[in-house]
Structure 1
Amino acid sequence: MRSAPAYREGDRSVPLIDDSVGGLLAARAADHPDTEAVIGVRHGTGDIERLTYAALFGEACRVAAALSTLVEPGQYVALWAPNLVEWTVIQYGAALAGAVLVALNPVLRDDELDYALRHSRAHVLLHADVSRGYAMGEVAERVCADIPGLRRISLSEREVWLAPAAAASAPEISADSPVMLQYTSGTTGRPKGVLLTHRALVNVAKLTMEATGAPPKARCFNPLPLFHTAGCVIATLGPLWLAGTSVLCERFAADEALEAIRRENVSVLFYVPTVLHALLRRQREIDMPATQLSVIMGGASNVAADLIDGAASVFGAHVYNLFGQTELAPVLSLTRPGDSPQDQLNTVGRQLPHLDCKIIDPDTGATVGVGEVGEICARGYQQFVEYLHDPEATARALDPDGFVRTGDLGAMDHRGYLTVTGRLKELIIRGGENISPAEVESIIADHDEIIDVVAVGLPDERMGEIVAVACRVAQGNREGLRDRLIDHVRTRMPSYKVPARWFLVDEFPRTPTGKVQRFALRDAILEHELHEL
């Protein structure tokens, strides 16, 4: 007898709020003007800045006034900077102005930045001057010189992007209007622009905080990149919902992070496995009691059970595993207080309220039975509006009933708890960063000594996954080949995309139709069957 279908409707009893990002900030500034809202480093100074809700709202209103002279509501403003106080101020300012914020990775190279700016059709680029020794200002100047109609503004030019005073009136912003464009790597090379609404961001942050039981006015440590939805939605708008404090980490290092957690009396920590692993390892090494936290929440890949157990034991916190993707703004499901230890360690919990979830056969689209593995799909108010300028890709991402096809494989039990077993998509997730194998392959393939190349993700305790490539190479001297290949790619891609391991193959395992069997290649590497450079 066939089991019940793996389908579960979202809980509609939990209320949603009908508010914009800027509207929620205004409410917090009115009710909690003197509460610290954000703590972080100022651009160009290295100084720690502490902004109360009143001060944050005031600066955001001045940003909105400045942007309103440069763009119309609904137009795109790109932000290219590391985790600075200005990032959060501009995020709120753009929302108040009715602009759509284009969140860009601060390690983008020239061609990647050029693509994002042209594709989004941004009217303004706000950028940092330097980040971790990377001359962002020089890159921005070089790239923007060839893009007609784009206004480039350095964060050092405060008089340009920060008006002397707030505007006399602000545009009326609908909760259903777009507020953010996030670029996410796909399997075909170029990243897609994921368009998200105010309603999605505000309510996903609200419901996630409520589901984990994060305490009101919590002081929250955010080591996640702000250009990711995890960083600028859950770890920014989450504290906003709590009327709490967001403590930004400009550049993560375990010792400095642990000190900041102690100094700022942090009770909530956001994480990806790489961060949590480093904090846990360092805390075990130092001769000092661990700061006791209330909630630790995060995800980005399957989180090892011993990492969750270890963090709970050392930091005295409830550790919650979040699962989702950018297209869902970004949380689909999470573990919760009251879940059994087995569920907390081995599942990604249940879906958020107002989000319907099902598991389908990826080939037929039919809903599979409870306990059967298939593609995880979700539908609700929080799903993305579209892939910008790509209606075909948008259509492919949805099934006939309007569910977002996540590309992740998993199963649902009879209670609605989800487990994730793999990915249909071949993305490599290294330390929370999505990496397209096709992009890595195209750059390596440009090298004269490469005939063919395939990139795969290999499991790694610290990073979750690392990038590995298998290459078919031309006949010739192979001495020093690895160094030559690394020199070739380092100037063409950010360091986190550079393969950590390089292998040689004579032929790739293929299907009868000629497609490379990436899983078979990955297995061959893990079984030590390939020659490593």
Structure 2
Amino acid sequence: MTTQLTQSYWPAEKSTGVREITLPGLLREAAADVPNHLALVDAVADPDARRHWTYAEFLAEVEQVSRALLARFSPGDRIGVWAPNSAEWVILQQAIAMSGMVVVAANPAYKAHELEYVLRHSGAVGLFYVSSYRGTDLEPVVQAALPTATSLKTLIKMEDWTDFLASGHPSTPLPEVKPTDPVQVQYTSGTTGFPKGAILHHMGIVNEAAFVGERAGMGPDGVCINAMPMYHIGGGAVTELQTIASHGTYVVMPGFNPGLTLELIEAYRGTHSLMVPTMLLAVLEHPDSATRDMSSVQTIMSGAAPVSEALVKKVTERWGCQFSILFGQTEMHGVTNQTRITDSPEDQAGTVGQPLPELEMKIADVVTGEVLPIGEQGEICARGYQNMLGYDQMPEQTAATIDEDGWLHMGDLGTMDERGFVKVTGRLKDMIIRGGVNIYPREIEEVLAGHPDFADLVVLGVPSEKWGEEVAAVVRLRQGAVQPDPLELKSWCRERISMHKSPSRWYFTEAYPQTPSGKIQKFLLRDQIADGDLKAVVLPSSSDQAKVSP
């Protein structure tokens, strides 16, 4: 779209159109067009143990699982899936959708109270789960959740998959599924507290994923190497469905492992992958990165956290590939904005691109909701077919998120230029108010990212009797770096940023609490600071020496 905007409003860009299609419709379409093309790979670490499905075989197994589901459940039922990545996860998700049921995705790292919350809140009637995960026996966790998850009636272990597969009747008719029917309840990442269940529909996740694949340059010969969790929107919708939409090959890893990622790209001639920045850094820093053949890589997608210009350049130069930045949220079925592979390095590193086709977007005044002039900071709002159906059993929260005019308030702050490129400047809830002055952490993080000793950093507000809030930075140092002298830090910041924006408290950590999608959970960092688990280096306000405080 080449129209020069005069205000921060992007009218929906026309395309080939939003298809009235469902997940089973998409899979049947691929199986009819390319029945013998490799569709799915269960990419476990042992190459001899890997399993493969053509599109015809993929569809046949999904239909078999769907009939097994219908022997136990009814269309409209919510079915929990509590397991790490596997081909069975993908097949089960597709089968639940084909049966007119709804996937309730749960992180296998959940503790009992977290699993109980998701099962009870969603009203799940069935649960597929693994017996153990990362050395933890999950059976006691499931049993502990049962007393309050009263709707849950049926438990099925993933280890019993073969028996379950054979339990359906071949003549069981499969229901008609509509594009606007609910297909998933995705619980939000929880960067600010307990998650809400966003109800997503078939048409939303299929079209959004297809548009992402088109903008990333994925075609019928595409091979997507995926380590993103299937219980997250990035794995269980974006990567999977863009691959099926393009009739490509989906290589699903059991979990992220940088060495395995490199081996799979080489073995299957991987063309596309979605990796958050921390994953990308781990792959680039792995010893095998220098010896594996990465010549097949066409496009690396990244997002969920700020992606630096240095990382974009490192990936594209090392692998000779293209790059695409993704931005969005669960409530919008995943991605709302994406840079094109033809965008300039400056736009790749400094923006999240333009909105996806068929989606309206505006930068709105946080008080009035009015569209702001070009370049002014406000809340990013979106409207279109990608809107979620609502938060499950939370009408008040739904109304607070989607206004009467259908605009979904994303909670992110940003600006829009005259071309429609959006720059994310922070989270509305992350805003620091110091002495009555609004301070946006993202702006400070971009400056501090230039410090040669910092590998990662987070800026947030901490309580202050004098100012209400003070600016704090939580830093992970580069390997081999020595913690900087506090006075040097103060001097370095003052040369680059206003005094009131410079962090007065510095915390150093080896790892951040993160969601499965790689988003840093600032509320948990605040808890660590409040509990004294992180100690601050407090910069002197005058000539006083720096001191360490809780």
Q: TM-score category by the smaller chain?
A: 0.7 to 0.9
Answer whether contact 2:274 2:301 (CA < 8 A) is retained.
yes
* Residue 200 (structure 2) aligns with: 196
Among 157, 161, 184, the residue aligned to 1:180: 184
* Residue 454 (structure 2) aligns with: none
Shift of 1:41: 5.2
Q: Partner letter of residue 531 of structure 1?
A: V
Q: Distance in 1 between matches of 2:71 and 2:104?
A: 18
Among 136, 155, 158, the residue aligned to 2:158: 155
Answer whether contact 1:504 1:531 (CA < 8 A) is retained.
no
Give CA deviations for 1:480-514 in whole Å, capped at 9, x if unaligned. Answer: xxxxxxxxx9xxxxxx97759954699xxxxxxxx
Answer whether contact 1:141 1:152 (CA < 8 A) is retained.
no
* Residue 255 (structure 1) aligns with: 259
Q: Distance in 2 between matches of 1:13 and 1:425?
A: 34
* Residue 424 (structure 2) aligns with: 420
Alignment size in residue pairs: 469
SS state of the match for residue 419, structure 1? strand
SS state of the match for residue 245, structure 2? helix
Q: Distance in 2 between matches of 1:63 and 1:530?
A: 62
Among 100, 103, 117, the residue aligned to 1:101: 103
* Residue 349 (structure 2) aligns with: 345
* Residue 381 (structure 2) aligns with: 377
Give CA deviations for 1:151-204 in whole Å, capped at 9, x if unaligned. Answer: 111112222365355444211110011101100145763210000000001100
Cα distance change, pair 505–63 in 1 and its aligned pair in 2 (3 A): closer
What aligned pairs does 1:190-229 form with structure 2 within 5 A after superposition? 190-229=194-233
Answer whether contact 2:283 2:289 (CA < 8 A) is retained.
no
Cα distance change, pair 290–206 in 1 and its aligned pair in 2 (3 A): closer
Cα distance change, pair 287–161 in 1 and its aligned pair in 2 (3 A): closer
Q: Does 1:57 align with 2:59?
A: yes
Shift of 1:257: 1.3
Give CA deviations for 1:309-328 in whole Å, capped at 9, x if unaligned. Answer: 11111111111000000011
Q: Distance in 1 between matches of 2:329 and 2:530?
A: 33
TM-score of the pair, normalised by structure 2: 0.78
Shift of 1:530: 7.2
Q: Does 1:531 align with 2:548?
A: yes
CA RMSD of aligned residues (A): 3.7
Q: Does 1:234 align with 2:251?
A: no
* Residue 475 (structure 1) aligns with: none
Give CA deviations for 1:296-336 in whole Å, capped at 9, x if unaligned. Answer: 11210111111111111111111100000001111111000
What aligned pairs does 1:66-85 form with structure 2 within 5 A after superposition? 66-85=68-87
Shift of 1:138: 3.0
* Residue 32 (structure 2) aligns with: 30
Q: Distance in 2 between matches of 1:307 and 1:294?
A: 16
Shift of 1:283: 5.8
Shift of 1:149: 4.0
Q: Distance in 1 between matches of 2:168 and 2:471?
A: 51
Cα distance change, pair 49–394 in 1 and its aligned pair in 2 (3 A): same
* Residue 365 (structure 2) aligns with: 361
* Residue 317 (structure 2) aligns with: 313
* Residue 331 (structure 2) aligns with: 327
Q: Distance in 2 between matches of 1:123 and 1:411?
A: 44
Q: Distance in 2 between matches of 1:271 and 1:99?
A: 29
Q: Distance in 1 between matches of 2:186 and 2:473?
A: 23
* Residue 506 (structure 2) aligns with: none
Q: Distance in 2 between matches of 1:310 and 1:181?
A: 37
Shift of 1:251: 2.3
Answer whether contact 1:261 1:291 (CA < 8 A) is retained.
no
Answer whether contact 2:538 2:548 (CA < 8 A) is retained.
no
SS state of the match for residue 196, structure 1? strand
Q: Distance in 1 between matches of 2:298 and 2:334?
A: 22
Shift of 1:343: 1.0
Q: Distance in 1 between matches of 2:22 and 2:52?
A: 24
Query: % of aligned pairs identical?
Result: 34
Shift of 1:66: 1.4
Q: Distance in 1 between matches of 2:389 and 2:398?
A: 9
Give CA deviations for 1:67-95 in whole Å, capped at 9, x if unaligned. Answer: 11222211201101001111101010001
Structure 1: which 5+ runs fail to align? 430-436, 438-453, 463-488, 490-495, 507-520
Q: Distance in 2 between matches of 1:255 and 1:532?
A: 40
